[in-house]
Amino acid sequence: MEKVFHLGLTKADLKGAKIAIVPGCPDRAKRIAERISTAQCLNKTREFHIYLAELEGHSIVVCSTGIGGPSTSIAVEELAQLGVETFLRVGTTGAIQPHINEGDVLVSTASVRLDGASQHFAPLAYPAAADFYCTQAMVNACHTVGVPFHVGITASSDTFYPGQERYDTHSGYVLKAFQGSCQEWQKLNVMNYEMESATLFTMCAAIGLKAGCVAGVLVNRTKQEIPNVDHGMVENNAVGVVIEAARSLIKNEVK
């Protein structure tokens, strides 16, 4: 098989891996892979840093997606061409409900589609829903790891600033379409904002793949805009959950 366009890998490179852990941040990909086992770096190209590790005797890929839907859709498409069937995103996030604390872990059941890329896979009426079994594995993993967690709906935006209604910007202006949107999502019981899950959930459901998403809370937007929490602690909590979720999916699949 030829190498896929962006990731520059062939099917043989993945050694039969069926599960990918997909963080946004390239540096996080390395830390996750090394926390799982001795890890092999398969490639580093653009925002895609790809590692192969071994979990429960099976190969597992860790591949960063970069920020946002377009690059996420490339990583998912090309990993699927290489044989991956299940995608577990682990990210960071901003909470918008007052009862959620920094460091808590949020498991997304579905996402508000404030992205553009998902509309290249299915019309807006189609839900951005996580796979049930991936979500169940994430929730069970939260119990196993023993972190405070919340389960619910995420707003997933193409932009970090206007789409998440941030006024602490160069212009201070937010397009009318987004003015009041954060309060609307709060009233509709949305837990948080991040930037990839809408694309990930929609494309995976539409093309017959499975996806779940967990995120560590860096900031609670009802209190402040700039995080002042230990990023390492936030990442550790969420990464611990995604690794345990992957472990249980492998064990249950394989038996």
Ligand X SMILES: O=P(O)(O)O[C@H]1O[C@H](CO)[C@@H](O)[C@H]1O
Ligand Y SMILES: O=c1cc[nH]c(=O)[nH]1
Half-sphere exposure of 109 (CA within 13 A, CB side): 10
Q: Please pick, among 47, 77, 78, 102, the residue that the annotation labels catalytic.
A: 78
Annotate 207-232 with three-state secondary structure. Answer: HCCEEEEEEEEEEECCCCCCCCCCHH
Query: With contact defined as beta carbons under 8 Å apart, do 166 and 238 qualify?
Result: no
Task: Please give the residues from 158 up to 187 whose contact with ligand Y meets the rule CB under 6 A.
Answer: 160, 164
φ, ψ dihedrals at 115, nearest 5°: -110, 175
Distance of closest approach, residue 136 Cβ to ligand Y, in angstroms: 25
Q: Is 6 a residue of the active site? A: yes
Residue 219 contact, options ligand X, ligand Y, none, Cβ 5-8 Å cut-off depending on partner type: ligand Y
Q: Is 184 a residue of the active site? A: no
Q: Please pick, among 28, 49, 113, 221, the residue that the annotation labels catalytic.
A: 221
Q: Is 78 a residue of the active site? A: yes
Tell me the C-alpha distance between 115 and 106, whole Å: 20
Task: Please give the residues from 17 up to 76 whose contact with ligand Y meets the rule CB under 6 A.
Answer: none
Tell me the C-alpha distance between 192 and 119, whole Å: 21
Distance of closest approach, residue 194 Cβ to ligand X, in angstroms: 4
Task: Please give the residues from 184 up to 213 whose contact with ligand Y meets the rule CB under 6 A.
Answer: 193-195
State which residue, 7 or 200, has the beta carbon closest to ligand X: 200
Among 218, 239, 241, 245, binds ligand Y (CB under 6 A): 218
Q: Angle between the 132-145 and 231-254 helix axes, to the nearest 10 degrees?
A: 120
Q: Is 166 a residue of the active site? A: yes
Residue 39 contact, options ligand X, ligand Y, none, Cβ 5-8 Å cut-off depending on partner type: none
Query: With contact defined as beta carbons under 8 Å apart, do 239 and 141 qualify?
Result: no
Residues that bind ligand Y (CB under 6 A): 92-94, 160, 164, 193-195, 218-219
Q: Which residues are catalytic?
A: 6, 78, 166, 221
